[in-house]
Structure 1
Amino acid sequence: MPSHSVLLVEDSEFITEHVSTALESSHGFEVNAVTTGEATRTALADDAQSFDCIVSSYELPDETGIDLAASLDDASVPFVLFTGNPLEPLVDEALSAGVSAFVSKSTHATGEMNVFANRIRLAIEAHGN
């Protein structure tokens, strides 16, 4: 199974640790984590790093994940919105902003995270990365 590089944008240390550990140890992803939209843009601007997918929490300290998705220039990198909020009211705005897929924190951020990992893989494959 080839390793994919994921940029995780999440300000909760607990969730970051849980998600990173599960995705790396059980699913073979390489995970780099940042806590803000601004840190995301800085990481993406670093020519020494490239990412196959961005996974962002909806609620960030400096903006929403949807605002972050809309601000990014590189539409070739899939953007997965990771939220505990109800998805229904967010879908239209998120898709218009460039969000590729959605994962609910309440139902998919526990255990081995098989559904979460699969969503990331499918988003990467759909973008040809």
Structure 2
Amino acid sequence: MRRLLPLALLLSAALAAFPPLFGPALPPGTELRLSSPDLRTLHGAWRVEGKTLRPLSPPLPPRPGQEVQLLLSLPGERPRAFPALAERGDVLLLWERERVSLLRLLREVYGLAPPDRLWP
């Protein structure tokens, strides 16, 4: 038991490093939309269904390194916008001075099963 304590502390510290940026949970019906900063181009839209992330439209891939905006709409709440950068098949959210992978955040913090890539 004593040997497991340091491992548990290390694991909890690693998980604490990834913040729940979107709140405590992403309930079914939550929608994520990736757009250009001026909202003129929709790069993709997804909805949380159970523990999966389902596409609502075929994605229009942004260029790697392109500035984008993630719009998060929880059921019954006003949408919130998060600045981000497009990466190959992923989105890097800008949080404080860090860049946080959207796919990794959805998997590790929210327990969802998103696709391996948001676009080809």
Q: If the length of structure 1 is used for normalisation, what is the TM-score?
A: 0.26
Which one has the bigger strand percentage? 2
Q: If the length of structure 2 is used for normalisation, what is the TM-score?
A: 0.27
Which one has the bigger helix percentage? 1
Larger Rg: 2
